Amino acid sequence: MSEYGFYTPEGFSRPVRLSETTRRFAYESLGHKYGLDTKRVDAVELDVEPGFDDLPPLEQYDIAVRRIAERAPVRICDGERLSGAATLGAAIRHAVPVSLKGNIICPSLSHLTADFDTVLSEGLDSMRAEAEKALSRHAGTAREAFARSVINTLDSFEIWIGRYVEALETACARDGSFAANLRNLRRVPKKPAASFYEACQSVWACFAFLRLCGNWPGIGRIDRMLGKYLENDLAAGTLTLGEAREILAHFFIKGCEWVCGGDYGSGDAQHYQNLVIGGVDADGKEVTNHVTYLVLDIIEETGISDFPTTVRLSSHSPEALLRRTAEVTRLGGGTVAVYNEDLILETLTSFGYPLREAREFANDGCWEVQIPGATDFGYIPFDSLAILQHETLGNYESDEPEKRFPDFDSLFEAYASDLDKAVKRIGGMFRPAYRFGEDGSFEGFAPSVPCTVVSLFERGCVRRGLSYLEGGPEYRIRSPHIGGLADTVNSLYALKKAVYDDGLVTLSDFFRILRDNWEGSEALRRHMLNNYRYYGADNDEADAIAARLLDRFADSCASLETGYGYRFPAGVSTFGRQLEWAPGRLAAPHGRKSGEVLAANCSPTPGTDTLGATAVVRSYCKCPLKRMVTGAALDIRLLPSSVEGEDGTGALVSLFRGFVALGGFFMQTDIADPAVLREAQLHPEDHQTLSVRVSGWNARFVTLNKEWQDMVIGQAEGGSKSFGATGSCG
């Protein structure tokens, strides 16, 4: 660790660009100072509110938000360049931080990226004017209550901002050190931002208020939002690039205000506050600007991993962006991932999104693709291997499986049918959310959990008089996500080869062996593990099964179009659920024993990526990724030694280029040394800021519990150690 506690892998050094004050602020934030302070007050109590229990849920929610705005502790940090903080501990646990009789009573939202563009360009005053028009338009209708809630939420937001203005006035009366903060917060977010500094403060204030109320929003395209303000300031000579870097660094540092240390299961940085940089704007013009590179500079210098950042790369990306992305990626921590913009734009427009909307894609706070500020998003994961083992193969208990599965095609078709039924069950989960008239016609969405704070930052909600969960946003997505893909593909491929092609064992005997968890059949198990090239090893035969399976899955998802507002695009993910799925899994035909923790996302089963990262990318890109509309994540883990020096940077650039050229979707690359991870497991006190990519989020390794740590170590040890023989995917 360096003087300031930032993790620096051996062989790399981080540059020093930021001021001593800013680096000290980062050290304090990452050192738990403000996170522990946040936990001092868990929630605002509502026990004294008269008649609270008798109020409708939306009115209860409005009171809760008002009391949060009025009573949440105000925190001004020494040296901070941006002001506002999410200072109630229950928000860290993904809940609206209010309690009644000792219980948290309101759920909150995540997996969305908020609309910060409107407040930047128009300000809260303009948003209030729109809300008042909506209230007038919906007066006397069922939508009036929500319209009133929007006005109440704006009032609460401004109360909270006002408390910070007062605190800054008091601070400035002492020494004037917060004069710039005060000047900015007196204008924004009420008024449109007029400078880069104001724009950063405006986005931060909105983001902090959303978090204060318990929500975990993504931020989205920060360089597209802030770039024009910085370019104008630089041209006018009112700001230097160094000053801009300091201001933006404080955005990152303040985003660590929930860092508390300790054991958090899946890690302490899983708050979905993701960023997206690079790519084109709605008009098709390249976005990459000074802010793009400042983001990468700040990640490089501070090692802050709390804002997982995805770079939109394409065949037209600037060479400098490719190289800078590689330089920061090779430092490890998994903070930087990449999208293939070319494929994703084709995917979204094929699905029906207008091109201008598609060009603005970001993520949902993890990596699933959505249109930011306009999408009510949810995903439904399931374990595809469990369907194969428990449903199609009947827990391996059939006496005469050869009669049911005389050839591989009959087995595959039976599995595809069971998979289709599982997807149909997912679609049926959402019909209760619809409201129908007496004649059976669709009237809209049933009343849902109040969520006005989020609805304020989602386009369409205020105008329509409908909340985020009640049909307000333009797009309503519920995406089935297939998990355990590689394990299912490898199981099918192993059955194909051992039973139908090579005749090593009959299906009946294989079922018996698998029921016995390979007991007494170690030689065959070793053969299955070591004599076949599975998904991830660039084997056309195995990869063709993956492609065929995902095509059928996408067909099933497409069949769920209901006409009632939701759409059901396909996606591939696990998000670490391979841990919870493992106890229910039986022995697998590709040599795995029952209960093993296996493949993540759209990545190979650990240990099967035997030919390096380029082979993994090739296998992955043979899948019909264009049909995986919300995404399919590929995890690549490399040893630090494989990316050392100029050659290492060049190899990563080639990997990114090949990923784009071959038609990848999303790739998260982590440079992780299993030896360092094991050392951190033994001596966490020496590795407090060591970051690893877990799935759609990053975590400080020492805040993962042992089960999660072991999974990350296992993935690193079984992951791609090199780029393979070719060194390039192209």
Q: Is 288 left (phi over 0), alpha (psi -120 to 50) or beta?
A: beta
Is residue 238 domain-resident?
A: no
Q: What value does the mean pLDDT take over residues 281-297?
A: 98
| 3 state DSSP class of 378 | strand
The confidence score (pLDDT) of residue 293 equals 98
Query: Which residues sit opposite 381 in a β-bridge?
Result: 481
Judge whether residue 8 has pLDDT over 50: no
**Residue 127, burial from CB neighbour count under 10 angstroms (0-12, 13-18, 19+):** buried
Q: How many helices (H) and strands (E) does the chain have?
A: 27, 21
Contact criterion met (CB below 8 Å) for 576 and 708: yes
Task: Estimate to the nearest angstrom the gap between the alpha carbon of 56 and the chain centroid.
Answer: 33
Map tokens 């990519």 to a residue: 693
HEC sequence for 547-568: HHHHHHHHHHHHCCCCCCCEEC
Of the residues 580, 611, 642, which one is the last residue of a structural domain? 611
Beta bridge partners of 280: 286
230 sits in which H/E element? helix 222-236
Looking at residue 720, its pLDDT comes to 53
Cα(220)–Cα(692) distance, integer angstroms: 21
* 250 pLDDT above the threshold of 60: yes
CA angle 403/407/412 to nearest 5° reads: 105
327 and 470, same domain (yes or no): no
- Beta-strand relationship, 309-313 and 631-638: unpaired
**Same domain assignment for residues 483 and 577:** yes
Distance CA 336, CA 433 (A): 37
| Confidence category of residue 562, pLDDT binned at 50, 70, 90 | low
248 in any annotated domain: no
Q: Which of 78, 83, 81, 47 is nearest to 63 (CA)?
A: 47
Sort 722 into a burial class: Cβ within 10 Å, 0-12 / 13-18 / 19+: middle
Same-domain status, 691 and 557 = no
The answer on 62 and 206 residing in a single domain is: yes
Res. 726: pLDDT tops 50: no
Lowest mean pLDDT among 45-54, 243-252, 314-323: 45-54
- For the chain, how are helix, strand and coil distributed in percent, rounded to 5? 50, 15, 40
Where does residue 725 rank: exposed (0-12), middle (13-18), buried (19+ CB within 10 A)? exposed
The one-letter code for the residue type at 365 is G
* Residue 672 falls inside a structural domain: yes
Return the SS3 of 478.
Answer: strand
Compute the distance between CA of residue 702 and CA of residue 608 in angstroms, rounded to an integer.
27
Residue 497 three-state SS: helix
Whether 201 and 165 map to the same domain: the answer is: yes
User: Residue 300 pLDDT > 60, yes or no?
Assistant: yes
Instruction: Count how many Cα atoms sit within 13 Å of the Cα of residue 726 in the half-sphere of its side chain.
Output: 14
Question: Would 78 be classed as within a structural domain?
Answer: yes
Are 490 and 393 part of one and the same domain?
yes
340 beta partners:
313
pLDDT of residue 443: 66
Query: Of 218, 237, 252, which one is at a domain's C-terminal end?
Result: 218
Three-class SS state of 254: helix
Q: Domain range spanning residue 384?
A: 375-611
Give pLDDT, residue 138: 94
Copy the structure tokens of residue 34: 């403000």
Summarize the confidence of residues 670-674 as an average pLDDT: 88
pTM here is 0.94
Last residue of a domain, one of 184, 218, 252: 218
Same domain, 209 and 90: yes
What is the overall mean pLDDT for the chain?
Answer: 92
Kindly state the tokens that stand for 495.
Answer: 């059955």
- To which residue do tokens 């909105």 refer? 206
Question: Taking residues 453-472, what's their average pLDDT?
Answer: 95
Note whether 76 and 300 are within 8 A (CB): no
What does the block give as tokens for 7?
């993790």
Residue 408: how many other CB atoms lie within 10 Å: 17
pLDDT value, residue 706: 86
Structural domain count, the chain: 3
Answer yes or no: are the C-beta atoms of 273 and 307 closer than 8 Å. Answer: yes
62 lies in the same domain as 176: yes
Structural domain contains residue 602: yes
Burial category of 284 from C-beta neighbours within 10 Å (exposed 0-12, middle 13-18, buried 19 and up): exposed
Asked if 509 and 362 sit in the same domain, the reply is: no
Identify whether 239 is part of a domain: no
> Does the pLDDT at position 661 exceed 90?
yes
For residue 451, tell me if it sits in a domain.
Answer: yes
Per-residue model confidence as pLDDT tens digits over 252-271? 999 999 998 876 677 776 78
pLDDT recorded at residue 12: 47
Distance CA 534, CA 540 (A): 9
* Span of 7-16, 199-208, 500-509, 711-720 with lowest mean pLDDT: 7-16
Alpha helix (H) ranges present in 303-442? Answer: 319-329, 341-351, 355-359, 384-386, 401-404, 408-428
Q: Do residues 407 and 355 both lie within one domain?
A: no
Q: Looking at the DSSP assignment, which residues form a beta bridge with residue 376? A: 476
The answer on 383 and 363 residing in a single domain is no
Report which residue type is found at 46: L
Please answer whether residues 352 and 346 qualify as being in contact, where contact means their C-beta atoms are separated by less than 8 angstroms. Answer: no
CA–CA separation, 88 and 90 (whole Å): 6
Distance between CA atoms of residues 56 and 360, nearest Å: 37
d(CA 143, CA 205) in angstroms, rounded, equals 28
Same domain, 353 and 384: no
Which residues, including other chains, have CB under 8 Å from residue 237's CB and lie 6 or more apart?
Answer: none
Residue 14 lies in a domain: no
Q: What is the pLDDT of residue 725?
A: 41
- Contacts of 695 by beta carbon, 8 Å cutoff, 6+ apart: 366, 573, 574, 575, 576, 600, 601, 633, 635, 668
Scan for tokens 């931002």, then name that residue. 193
Q: How far is CA 250 from CA 223, 255, 293, in A?
A: 16, 8, 16
